[in-house]
Amino acid sequence: MSISKRPSHSGKLPSSHVSWRAFRLLLKAATMSIAMLSGSALADFCESDIALIDSNFSGGNLGVCEFTTPTSVSFTITPEDAPPINPSAWYSFRLSPKKNEALQLSLTFVDGHARYWPKVSTDGTTWQRLDDSQVSISEDRSILTITLERRSDPLFISAQELLVNDDYEQWMRSLAAHPEVGSRTLGRSIQGRPIQALITEQKPEVVYLFGRQHPPEITGGLAMQSFVDELFGDSDLANEFRARFMLVLVPLINPDGVDAGHWRHNMGGRDLNRDWGPFTQPEIQSIKRLIDEIDEAGIAPKLMLDFHSTQRSRFYTQMPEDFDEEIDFARDWLDRARLRMSDFDFLYDPRKPSGQENTKNYFYSTYHIPAITYEIGDEVDRGDISRTSPIFAQEMMRVMLKRE
């Protein structure tokens, strides 16, 4: 199946987006003019005689930071664009001590709140939740304070663990080694990063899986990886499923936002999960071209899953009465999964169709198929994600194979 070339993109941004970016640039200029004196900076680093703090890595974002005393650091965390924007306040930075001193970090969130409990890592790869005794959050959740003990080695501090473009590239490369899988570059993001798809052999029916439209939603990304790994396993169930259904996976839809440590948007100032209809952004346009080609080949969509994160695990589905089928696919799937993991908390959350231009509504309104937003809670134990995602995948395959 051929992929057409990416159409040219003007790079023009909405006026509100430009004005907000202009404000941030002015803030940066004003801040940098006194950085040598105050130890503060926007976007990259701040330092004192005690420590260097930087965000110079993929996924890094520290907003404005300033050493207010030799051992106290103030951060102002702002979204990439002016509100309205989802208040998923992301931060990720690296602390490199110069002296063995305890530090207090105070993060103030503008147009957001302390949604995520901080995670720490010494190498940027292995993460753990920061101990409760080291974290306090203001009553209105606008300020998060972290107390760090004396240390001599660098420490990454992040809203969530990092799951960035290089991680996806490595994972997708391993999947592409499967004999049934092909890797395609569908197009390019605004900053020129590839929008990669994994596509299995052509069949009369296709299942779509999407991920990371929203950069901070790490648990959805982790769930998708474990879920997909099960689909490509060598079990009789997985082999039978792939023998019937073509699979199309686009696991990293917003690579620019992930790299920049955005709260929500791509570099066009757009929530990509509100662009399924307008198709104004190159990331979504590239996927739409592939979908159109699959439609033109006469391949019938049968299911769409879009992986995300939220405060509590839930599955946003259509209403049972939205389908003519006797058995509600979503309820059947989730009930079967719940029987196998009764200790895992999640909600079956059917919703009436709305005018919101998201993936779920687009696939349901266009194809009248189950189109489900698969949400995993922000603070769900990562071991539970690894344990339960394969079960969700297995029961999805079983229910899909029963359908005509």
| CATH code at position 368 | 3.40.630.10
CATH number, domain with residue 90? 2.60.40.3120
Same domain, 177 and 268: yes
Same domain, 129 and 174: no
Spatial neighbors of 49 by CB under 8 A, at least 6 apart, are 70, 98, 99
Let me know: does 383 contact 324? Beta carbons within 8 Å: no
Query: Does the residue 8 lie in any domain?
Result: no
Query: Does the residue 5 lie in any domain?
Result: no
Same domain, 35 and 130: yes
Report CA-CA distances (Å) from 290 to 39, 198, 216, 248: 49, 11, 26, 9
Query: Does the residue 183 lie in any domain?
Result: yes
Same domain, 38 and 62: yes
CA separation for the pair 289, 275 (Å, rounded): 14
Same domain, 311 and 344: yes
Angle at 309 between CA 65 and CA 6, to 5 degrees: 85
Same domain, 60 and 178: no
Query: Does the residue 1 lie in any domain?
Result: no
Spatial neighbors of 308 by CB under 8 A, at least 6 apart, are 213, 214, 217, 220, 273, 373, 374, 375, 376
**pLDDT at 327 (0 to 100):** 79
- Using a 10 angstrom Cβ sphere, with 0-12 exposed, 13-18 middle and 19 or more buried, the burial of residue 151 is middle
Query: Does the residue 93 lie in any domain?
Result: yes
13-22, 103-112, 134-143: segment of lowest average pLDDT: 13-22
Same domain, 180 and 142: no
* CA 401 to chain centroid: 29
Of the candidates 130, 80, 125, the residue with the CA atom closest to the CA atom of residue 105: 130
Let me know: does 102 contact 147? Beta carbons within 8 Å: yes
Last residue of a domain, one of 158, 179, 214: 158
Confidence of residue 11 (pLDDT cuts 50, 70, 90): very low
Q: What is the pLDDT of residues 345-367, one digit of tens each?
A: 999 999 999 999 999 999 999 99
pLDDT at 73 over 50: yes
CA separation for the pair 30, 64 (Å, rounded): 11
Confidence of residue 14 (pLDDT cuts 50, 70, 90): very low
20-29, 152-161, 201-210, 228-237: segment of lowest average pLDDT: 20-29
Confidence of residue 109 (pLDDT cuts 50, 70, 90): very high
Same domain, 154 and 169: no
10 Å Cβ neighbour count for 281?
23
C-alpha dihedral (187, 252, 123, 96), degrees to nearest 10 = 70
Provide the mean pLDDT of the chain: 92
Report CA-CA distances (Å) from 261 to 46, 58, 302, 309: 17, 8, 34, 16
At residue 327, the 3 state secondary structure works out as coil
CA separation for the pair 402, 404 (Å, rounded): 7
What are φ and ψ of residue 30, in 5° steps? -65, -40
CA separation for the pair 108, 76 (Å, rounded): 5
**pLDDT at 20 (0 to 100):** 53
Query: Does the residue 264 lie in any domain?
Result: yes
Same domain, 227 and 192: yes
Report CA-CA distances (Å) from 48 to 28, 73, 106, 192: 19, 10, 16, 36
Question: What is the rounded average pLDDT of the residues 43-49?
Answer: 87
**pLDDT at 319 (0 to 100):** 97
Same domain, 215 and 149: no
Question: What is the rounded average pLDDT of the residues 53-69?
Answer: 97
Q: Containing H/E element for 296? A: helix 282-296
**pLDDT at 74 (0 to 100):** 98
Spatial neighbors of 187 by CB under 8 A, at least 6 apart, are 6, 194, 195, 282, 283, 285, 286, 289
Last residue of a domain, one of 105, 123, 158: 158
**pLDDT at 19 (0 to 100):** 52
Query: Does the residue 7 lie in any domain?
Result: no
Find the domain containing 175 and state its range: 165-402
C-alpha dihedral (255, 162, 31, 82), degrees to nearest 10 = 50
Let me know: does 195 contact 185? Beta carbons within 8 Å: yes
Count of the separate structural domains present in the chain: 2
pLDDT at 6 over 60: no
CA separation for the pair 207, 342 (Å, rounded): 27
CA separation for the pair 90, 310 (Å, rounded): 14
Sheet holding 45-47, edge to edge: 45-47, 51-54, 92-97, 155-158, 119-121, 128-129
Angle at 60 between CA 16 and CA 191, to 5 degrees: 55
Same domain, 245 and 370: yes
Same domain, 122 and 50: yes
Last residue of a domain, one of 158, 192, 215: 158
**pLDDT at 369 (0 to 100):** 97
Query: Does the residue 136 lie in any domain?
Result: yes
Query: Cis (ω within 30 of 0) for the bond into 84?
Result: yes
